[in-house]
Amino acid sequence: MAQGRKGKLNYRCPRCLMREIDMDMLYDREADEYYCLRCSFVGDEQEVLRLNAQFREKYRDRTKRITSF
Ligand SMILES: [Zn+2]
Protein backbone atom coordinates (compact mmCIF):
# COMPACT_ATOMS: atom_id res chain seq x y z
CA MET A 1 0.00 0.00 0.00
CA ALA A 2 2.85 2.34 0.83
CA GLN A 3 4.26 1.86 -2.64
CA GLY A 4 1.81 4.09 -4.38
CA ARG A 5 2.00 5.12 -7.94
CA LYS A 6 2.06 8.67 -6.78
CA GLY A 7 5.19 8.51 -4.65
CA LYS A 8 5.68 9.29 -0.99
CA LEU A 9 3.84 12.54 -1.09
CA ASN A 10 1.38 14.08 -3.39
CA TYR A 11 2.66 17.32 -4.73
CA ARG A 12 0.61 19.87 -6.48
CA CYS A 13 1.84 20.92 -9.86
CA PRO A 14 3.47 24.33 -9.40
CA ARG A 15 2.81 25.38 -12.96
CA CYS A 16 -0.88 24.58 -12.66
CA LEU A 17 -1.01 26.26 -9.25
CA MET A 18 0.10 29.49 -10.87
CA ARG A 19 -2.98 29.28 -13.04
CA GLU A 20 -5.05 28.51 -9.95
CA ILE A 21 -5.57 24.92 -10.98
CA ASP A 22 -5.24 22.33 -8.25
CA MET A 23 -3.58 19.39 -9.94
CA ASP A 24 -1.82 16.45 -8.31
CA MET A 25 1.32 15.23 -10.01
CA LEU A 26 2.25 11.65 -10.68
CA TYR A 27 5.59 10.18 -9.70
CA ASP A 28 7.86 8.39 -12.13
CA ARG A 29 9.96 6.04 -10.05
CA GLU A 30 12.37 5.18 -12.83
CA ALA A 31 13.22 8.77 -13.52
CA ASP A 32 12.68 9.85 -9.90
CA GLU A 33 10.64 12.75 -11.16
CA TYR A 34 7.19 14.12 -10.72
CA TYR A 35 5.12 14.98 -13.70
CA CYS A 36 1.84 16.62 -14.45
CA LEU A 37 -0.60 15.21 -16.94
CA ARG A 38 -2.29 18.51 -17.48
CA CYS A 39 0.53 20.86 -18.46
CA SER A 40 3.31 18.27 -18.96
CA PHE A 41 5.49 19.82 -16.30
CA VAL A 42 8.32 17.48 -15.23
CA GLY A 43 10.63 18.00 -12.28
CA ASP A 44 12.29 16.23 -9.41
CA GLU A 45 11.27 16.75 -5.81
CA GLN A 46 13.73 19.60 -5.29
CA GLU A 47 12.42 21.43 -8.29
CA VAL A 48 8.83 21.00 -7.21
CA LEU A 49 9.56 22.26 -3.70
CA ARG A 50 11.51 25.21 -5.06
CA LEU A 51 8.73 26.22 -7.42
CA ASN A 52 6.10 25.79 -4.75
CA ALA A 53 8.05 28.09 -2.44
CA GLN A 54 8.40 30.55 -5.29
CA PHE A 55 4.68 30.41 -5.90
CA ARG A 56 3.93 31.13 -2.26
CA GLU A 57 6.16 34.19 -2.39
CA LYS A 58 4.55 35.43 -5.55
CA TYR A 59 1.13 34.84 -4.17
CA ARG A 60 1.95 36.80 -1.05
CA ASP A 61 3.25 39.64 -3.17
CA ARG A 62 0.12 39.62 -5.21
CA THR A 63 -2.15 39.87 -2.19
CA LYS A 64 0.08 42.59 -0.81
CA ARG A 65 -0.24 44.54 -4.01
CA ILE A 66 -3.99 44.11 -4.07
CA THR A 67 -4.52 45.21 -0.48
CA SER A 68 -2.35 48.30 -0.95
CA PHE A 69 -4.20 49.15 -4.12
ZN1 LIG B 1 0.57 21.08 -14.31
Tell whether 4 is covered by a domain: no
- For residue 5, being part of any structural domain is answered with no
Greatest Cα pair distance, the chain, in angstroms, is 50
Cα-to-centroid distance, 24 and ligand 1 (Å): 8
Sequential pLDDT tens for the chain (69 residues):
444 455 556 899 999 998 999 999 999 999 999 999 999 999 999 999 999 898 888 877 776 666 655
Q: Tell me, in angstroms, the distance from the centre of ligand 1 to residue 65's CA.
A: 26
Residue 54: count other Cβ atoms within 10 Å of its Cβ: 12
Q: How many A from CA of 45 to the centre of ligand 1?
A: 14
Query: How many domains, the chain?
Result: 1
Beta-bridge partner residues of 26? 35
Give 34's strand partners. Answer: 27, 43
Q: Answer yes or no: is 1 within a domain.
A: no
* Residue range(s) defining the domain that contains residue 41: 14-67
14 burial level (CB within 10 Å; 0-12, 13-18, 19+): buried
Give 12 Cα–ligand 1 centroid separation in angstroms.
Answer: 8
Is 6 among the domain residues?
no
